[in-house]
Amino acid sequence: MFPMILALLLSAPPDFEVQPLEGPRLAGRLIGLDAKQVTVETSSGRVSLDLAKVASLSARSKPLPPPAKVWIDLVEGSALAAEEYTVHEGRARIALAGGDVLELPVHEVAAVRFLAGPEALAAQWARILALKAQSDMLVVAKADSLDYHKGVLGDVTAVQAHFELDGEPLEVKRSKVYGLIYYHAAAGGPTPEGAYTVLDAGGSRWSVRGLAFSDHWEWITAGGRTVRRGPEQLAAADLSRGKIVFLSDLVPDSAVYTPLWGMEKELPSRLELFRPRQDQNMESKPLRIGGKTYAKGLWLHSRTEMIYRLPGRFSRFEAVAGIDDDVRPRGHVRLVIRGDDKVLLDTTVSGNDKDAVHPISLDLSGVRRLVILVDYGDDLDVADHLDLGDARLIK
């Protein structure tokens, strides 16, 4: 009896939260997902949503992924968490952290990082990656710094990496290798970009162009590879690419802060201190409203005006407004949002508001120019730190 019950539990549809582009999240058992729609069994019944109107999926129970020993960046945009990476005669074998094994030609691999190390090494690694060298590179760790050598990478085993330096073959101990960077001459244009990003239970992040679920997960990577996983092997999927644009990712046409008390000669330091911030508050900390943290959004001080020329046609603007938790219950501002010459919103936001979070959902049909003004409220400019969490344009 117990094996039968266990089999039923393992085959049960996974429990997910589905975030539409507009409106509240749906929670329940995921029944199916294809190129057209996603179906969820909620407490109120079965609901199907047009996939084009879904921003993300997220498993409600996310076990911590096993610690990765190797990180592999693929040319097509995926970043794989792995237990081991080896190469033999031009073919890479990747033992993924989730237990699966992936084999592929080494020309599909962009970079491999074996050692984590301190944060300073990670920053150096990023700078070396950005060099865009016209050859392979072997990167070694020396105390608290990285050194790299240009040459030709060959076979890689669990104990050593073969490397040719100026035509001389070398066998380098894996214990000394921080990472490998592969050079691939451009052929046939850039790799197609994935439509979605999938995070699996093993910690790997996949760039995919197709995603489906019936009794198991199946996705097609941006490079055309088909990956199959069990129902509990997907942690989250970001389906928002091309559907949502966050304001913090756009460069405004203008961003003007006007101090309450003018000076004959304005101090650049004051303008810098109170300038708008993207994805963080004035003190470079995450945006927080009512106890919730927002990874994306804007921090604006009164009196600040932001003008955006919209990069395409969008149906709605959505965000949550509130005085940043760092200064509540102080702070009181007037928030005015205009689409072209039409006022779409004119309201006040206070740190004393009973509901700290003010949802915003505005119709942008036909709008090409969005203006956001945070003006002075009742308390002059004291603690006027307004957050616009998840401020985004929706197709």
The confidence score (pLDDT) of residue 190 equals 56
The confidence score (pLDDT) of residue 156 equals 97
Q: Are residues 160 and 292 in the same domain?
A: no
Q: Are residues 174 and 296 in the same domain?
A: no
The confidence score (pLDDT) of residue 10 equals 45
pLDDT of 261 > 80? The answer is: no
In this prediction the pTM is 0.72
Structure tokens, 57: 């999926």
The confidence score (pLDDT) of residue 266 equals 66
Mean pLDDT (whole number) for 23-40: 92
Q: Are residues 76 and 160 in the same domain?
A: yes
Q: Are residues 255 and 167 in the same domain?
A: no
Query: Is the residue at 167 inside a domain?
Result: yes
pLDDT of 370 > 70? The answer is: yes
Query: Is the residue at 153 inside a domain?
Result: yes
Q: What DSSP string describes 307-359?
A: EEE-SS--SEEEEEEEE-TTTTT--EEEEEEEETTEEEEEEEEETT-SSS-EE
The confidence score (pLDDT) of residue 186 equals 66
Q: Are residues 165 and 271 in the same domain?
A: no
Q: Are residues 170 and 252 in the same domain?
A: no
CB < 8 Å & 24+ apart, contacts of 124-133: 125/178, 125/179, 128/181, 129/181, 133/181, 133/183
Q: Are residues 260 and 372 in the same domain?
A: yes
> Residue 331 — very low, low, confident or very high, per pLDDT cuts 50/70/90?
very high
- How many domains does the structure of the chain reveal? 2
For residue 268, the enclosing domain spans 245-394
Q: Provide the residue type at 394 as one letter.
A: I
Structure tokens, 61: 């129970």
Q: Are residues 255 and 390 in the same domain?
A: yes
Mean pLDDT (whole number) for 83-90: 96
Which residue, 334, 336, 335, 324, is CA-closest to 383? 324
Cα–Cα distance, 153 to 122 (Å, whole number)? 21
Distances (CA, A) of 226 to 52, 82, 100, 189, 243: 22, 18, 13, 22, 24
**H or E segment and range at residue 394:** strand 385-394
Cα–Cα distance, 341 to 240 (Å, whole number)? 29
Query: Is the residue at 211 inside a domain?
Result: no
Q: Are residues 268 and 382 in the same domain?
A: yes
Query: Is the residue at 229 inside a domain?
Result: no
Residue whose token pair is 């592969």: 182
Query: Is the residue at 176 inside a domain?
Result: yes
Query: Is the residue at 380 inside a domain?
Result: yes
Q: What DSSP string describes 88-117?
A: ETTEEEEEETTS-EEEEEGGGEEEEE----
Residue 277 belongs to domain with CATH number: 2.60.120.1060
Query: Is the residue at 65 inside a domain?
Result: no
> Residue 268 — very low, low, confident or very high, per pLDDT cuts 50/70/90?
confident
pLDDT of 11 > 80? The answer is: no
Count of CB atoms situated within 10 Å of the CB of 119: 8
**H or E segment and range at residue 126:** helix 119-129
Q: What is the pLDDT of residues 290-311, one digit of tens each?
A: 999 999 999 999 999 999 999 8
Q: What is the pLDDT of residues 151-194, one digit of tens each?
A: 999 999 999 999 999 989 999 999 999 999 999 876 555 556 67
Query: Is the residue at 7 inside a domain?
Result: no
Q: Are 305 and 375 spatial neighbours (Cβ–Cβ below 8 Å)?
A: no
pLDDT of 50 > 50? The answer is: yes
The confidence score (pLDDT) of residue 66 equals 77
